[in-house]
Structure 1
């Protein structure tokens, strides 16, 4: 594994540690924390510090050390958890995140001098003393092993053999490590001490850790090396420098907590065995018996891609057996089959490789459709075989898509930091309520959700939620509430961002739109149409331009990004009660199920996620409405009939709903509608090709696909097409009435 690959793993783990720490500090802010929560925050920061030191990120390591010191005092109970302290820790976590980003991107680290002073002052204030330099640690026994050079004199007879006393050499090494007898013990040395033993394994050295640094950290805490165990060091002809043969026995003063020692080894994990207590035995050396070589498997559930190391020259046992903990080593023998992966075991894969896999699956779907159509055209009876291939293709597609699926909580986790920044800027206190964070969708969609979500949250806090005095006057709580939720529905995902603010001032929006020339002063618009004006480019109702809003860019960016994702956004606002934005997005941007239909000279695809049912209406079920609109009675409910031929400009299509096939579809903003088509040809998986990439954006069209006969068919954007058709029909009706 190269240094760049190890660094990439470190930064990925930094993101996980930051997320865990933020979740813990959020619990502290709500007052629901316990000792495990505080320890989780400390471990996350400590892990980042260890990696920063290993890779030489001095600024990151220095800031993390100060942050970790305050957290250590919080964990030990020296510094109590209060509201101001939690806010300070959250600010420190935000700065730590900026440090990690700067280290990853190679940019200048953020200025943290003032914040470090605040952290130090918090420690001093809660301890009741002025900040002072830490006292120098007491001299500790030197742990380094001094080995004198060994002069080897070759035999004058044949020059092939040489002899030396290995036992004497080991005695010399042991004597160098074991502390010499000193003067009479003083008060410190006679106080009660407790004991622990440790033995690093080969994995500790292979992953870049330095056991000597850990020994020095223990010595700095007051640890004293009692003995270095060299009993497992083999003869030189079978010595493997990549293995861990040495073990150490340490004793510590009674005022040193066991947790402080364990924290030193957090970054190493199972690659170093520890044993606590005066009666504890020295952990054994992890050396497996000889066994047939086999590929090494990852031993921990951490999602890291690890290359299997080459077999050691002195043993043919797999590396996985070398690095196992004692319990794992006992469960693995030369004759037993390898153990199955532990539950939750995972591996990191480059996104580019997954993209290639998805593209290959898409081409497989197209090839399968082409083969099915070709065989059907030849009149060959292979329905059973084709059904089997189709089923296998679908299984492969679903498995490939599930690999790319990620919980949306990775996007939601950024929201608390955004709210903290907005609260400090606007002076508004906002409480966040989140649900559905485990909802999964395609990684590509997740990556492109961050920007629109940020703009919607900034808009909700700046424009929606009122200042505290206005909320109290309106009978509301002084603290505003922002709700964030996600759920699956009919093959799509719904993301809602809502606030309990004052809602959209439609009169003001209308007046601003007239002022900017977006609409005519005498225009007649529905409430929904007025709400949608806020997405117009350059539109803003802010009184003055600030670093949050006022330039009329944010909401336009939201609409464009959602549209690029093949989704749509709707608004539900009630004056005095709040506003909710609903984003309706596809679960994936690659493959979907669709209904292939004929409309005149065109072949179109209707996404199956929108389809409710299809029917041929009876003559009495279709009723006219005005000069150009039709309604159909579906089990006592009248829904509008929309001609796909008219919407896409198809020629020679059926124009009478009584002679056509009607497909009842469900939309988010416009309810149900019936799409009029000539015939339904097939139902199949389709590979979605973006029109923006290969042509340009077309209103009412979500994309295109390649059919089995090689033709290109447009995929209908059902929500957009129905909304546009009904809006045009309403405008035409108003014009006729006028």
Structure 2
């Protein structure tokens, strides 16, 4: 695996860690402040810090170090988790997210100096309060002289290997530390796996030095001659003297990533773990020799660990030490653990797209076989039905691999609300439902922008200020509700607020002022609400950083249309507004009606279809010289000739002789598409015309039918909008 691929995995894990920390802090804000929640937040930030150091992202590592230190104090109950501190942690998490984005995209790190000072101030205030109750600390004695010592400059600069080995070889024996030495010891020896898996030992030593630990002993007994030296193995072991005020948990956290590849031993009777040479090495293992600096240990220390902070630790009970026959890396000979349920693996997206394309071709092949058998009058209905069922199951399973929970999009909302609260002064309570609802990864990726616009619009235009809400008898804190659910093969996303609702009179007046509609236009409530999606439309009294420039809502509608979806509005004055997004579960395979229009075979996406019918002559009425309207249960809707829209020849032009398909559109309401006949209803694979040809108005793409012919997929919204004017929605008398 290349370094670029490893770095890509790191950034994916950063996203997961940020989401985990966001979830934990949200739980803390809601009142869940148990140790498990705090530990989960700490681990998430610690994971980002470890990877940042390994890849050399200094700005990210530096900020995360301060953030992690504050969380460590919270975890150890040194800093109380107050509402003010939770707010500070949330703001720190936002900046941490910006740091990750800058590191991933190669941009400039965000300004974090003031926030670092706030975090350090929170720790200093807590330490000052704790110091008033603590006894005065004794002066720290000077560190004793030992065999090999490293100061901070050694650990942060490049070392020459020959000079280092010469120094180590000529180093005098280390004197035994005195009982009066303040601090406690940690012994470690990185093995070959630590370096192979990215746990570069120098980074671990730097982490220890950052805690104030001092290297007081180095075991060099396993270093072979230079001719036999294998740079992939681990030969050196260290003993560090750790300050008394540093907890054991802080030290063990440094080695979370390397595990058994860098064993550590802590305790009064512990020694440096023994050397392990991997069998895969072609170099013969060095001959055993008596240690020069430390006494060899026959096995890794497994005795109970004494608390380093204890002033007079009691001696550990004597227990017989078993003589292990297996290498220490096997974990004491324990059998490997069985894979845990729910394990996952990372798959290259290119491979996944290839699988989806292959499944699409399988759907086409199944349709071709069904068409061939039908043409030859082969009676194999049972087998064909089974094949169709299996093909659909394979298609759904393949799509489920690409499916992701919409919670990954919803998780960004708390930060958006925090930013909006800071800029508008409005406090908003977030409620989320259905965050585990899954949809295609492509839809997920393209959903973030329209969702952000709708949320900003809801807070800025919908939810009133605290003063106005109190005057109306409402809670000063507004409520924003996000929900997602599956319905009829599509996903329904709702963004609802409990604000003032849409002021239709103001919207209409603004539309007249902008020249969008005529002053004498007669419009229904729904048509007035749709005006907010017009380009350049805005009811904001002034331009702010949040809104007012008339861009955003038209972009929302266009983005939703590009996803093959629709957006609708439900609003009630002083009760609130709900935006409803209806989206396909996937953009690759869908269901549709195969229709005949003159010399053309076309596909109408089933998501737009309301019903189909053969009208009686009395149900179709003329309007003007060439317009026709269909009476559907007391409501007249326009009849759209598909043949005229696509340029088909020899098509039916009398609605009573053809079939009318009632469709629902976003911008023009309902309409009736006139086609010659409906041939079939089945799944179809969407092929982009932009990729293979060019964009065509009224056409969403193409597909391959069972007989091998290419059929165009109608873009119902564009087709109806281009053929019908806004004045067609006439009510029956």
Give the TM-score normalised by structure 1.
0.77
Q: Does 1:79 align with 2:79?
A: yes
1:497 Cα shift?
A: 1.1
Check 1:470–1:341 CA distance in 2 against 1; reply closer, same or farther (3 A cut).
Answer: same
Note if contact 2:147-2:217 (Cα within 8 Å) is conserved in structure 1.
no
> Aligned equivalents of 1:107 and 1:598: distance in 2?
54
3-state DSSP class of the match of 1:188? coil
> Aligned equivalents of 1:348 and 1:207: distance in 2?
17
192, 200, 204: which one pairs with 1:214?
204
Tell me the equivalent position of 1:493. Answer: 491
Tell me the equivalent position of 2:251. Answer: 261
Tell me the equivalent position of 2:46. Answer: 46
> Aligned equivalents of 1:72 and 1:447: distance in 2?
34
Check 1:80–1:375 CA distance in 2 against 1; reply closer, same or farther (3 A cut).
Answer: same
1:548 Cα shift?
A: 1.2
1:576 Cα shift?
A: 0.4
1:92 Cα shift?
A: 1.8
Q: Return 122-131 or 573-582, whichever deviates more.
A: 122-131
Aligned residue runs from structure 1 range 106-121, under 5 A = 106-121=106-121
Check 1:249–1:543 CA distance in 2 against 1; reply closer, same or farther (3 A cut).
Answer: same
Note if contact 1:458-1:548 (Cα within 8 Å) is conserved in structure 2.
yes
Aligned residue runs from structure 1 range 17-96, under 5 A = 17-96=17-96
User: What is the count of residue pairs matched by the alignment?
Assistant: 668
Q: Does 1:536 align with 2:531?
A: no
Note if contact 2:42-2:72 (Cα within 8 Å) is conserved in structure 1.
yes
Check 1:142–1:525 CA distance in 2 against 1; reply closer, same or farther (3 A cut).
Answer: farther
Deviation track 1:428-463 (CA, whole Å, cap 9, x = no partner) reads 111111122222212211111111111111111111
3-state DSSP class of the match of 1:46? helix
Q: Return 354-363 or 101-110, whichever deviates more.
A: 354-363
552, 560, 569: which one pairs with 1:562?
560
3-state DSSP class of the match of 1:543? coil
Q: Does 1:713 align with 2:711?
A: yes
Give the aligned CA root-mean-square deviation in angstroms.
Answer: 4.6
Tell me the equivalent position of 1:294. Answer: none
> Aligned equivalents of 1:143 and 1:51: distance in 2?
29
Q: Does 1:186 align with 2:180?
A: yes
Note if contact 1:178-1:226 (Cα within 8 Å) is conserved in structure 2.
no
Tell me the equivalent position of 2:289. Answer: none
Tell me the equivalent position of 1:296. Answer: none
1:120 Cα shift?
A: 2.0
Note if contact 2:220-2:235 (Cα within 8 Å) is conserved in structure 1.
yes
Check 1:659–1:272 CA distance in 2 against 1; reply closer, same or farther (3 A cut).
Answer: farther
3-state DSSP class of the match of 1:478? coil
> Aligned equivalents of 2:619 and 2:327: distance in 1?
76
Q: Does 1:474 align with 2:472?
A: yes
Deviation track 1:253-287 (CA, whole Å, cap 9, x = no partner) reads 77543321221113335644456667889878778
1:539 Cα shift?
A: 0.7
3-state DSSP class of the match of 1:205? helix
3-state DSSP class of the match of 1:406? strand
Aligned residue runs from structure 1 range 475-624, under 5 A = 475-609=473-607
For structure 2, which runs of at least 5 residues remain unmatched after alignment?
Answer: 132-138, 151-158, 285-325
> Aligned equivalents of 2:186 and 2:644: distance in 1?
78
Deviation track 1:636-660 (CA, whole Å, cap 9, x = no partner) reads x999796664784656555777765
Tell me the equivalent position of 2:446. Answer: 448
Check 1:222–1:52 CA distance in 2 against 1; reply closer, same or farther (3 A cut).
Answer: closer
1:325 Cα shift?
A: 6.5
Deviation track 1:342-382 (CA, whole Å, cap 9, x = no partner) reads 43333333434433443444345445544654565567778
Deviation track 1:7-49 (CA, whole Å, cap 9, x = no partner) reads 2222222222222222222222222222222222222222222
Q: Does 1:733 align with 2:723?
A: no
395, 401, 404: which one pairs with 2:402?
404
For structure 1, which runs of at least 5 residues remain unmatched after alignment?
Answer: 151-168, 290-310, 316-321, 333-338
Give the TM-score normalised by structure 2.
0.77
Check 1:594–1:624 CA distance in 2 against 1; reply closer, same or farther (3 A cut).
Answer: closer
> Aligned equivalents of 2:49 and 2:562: distance in 1?
40
Tell me the equivalent position of 1:13. Answer: 13
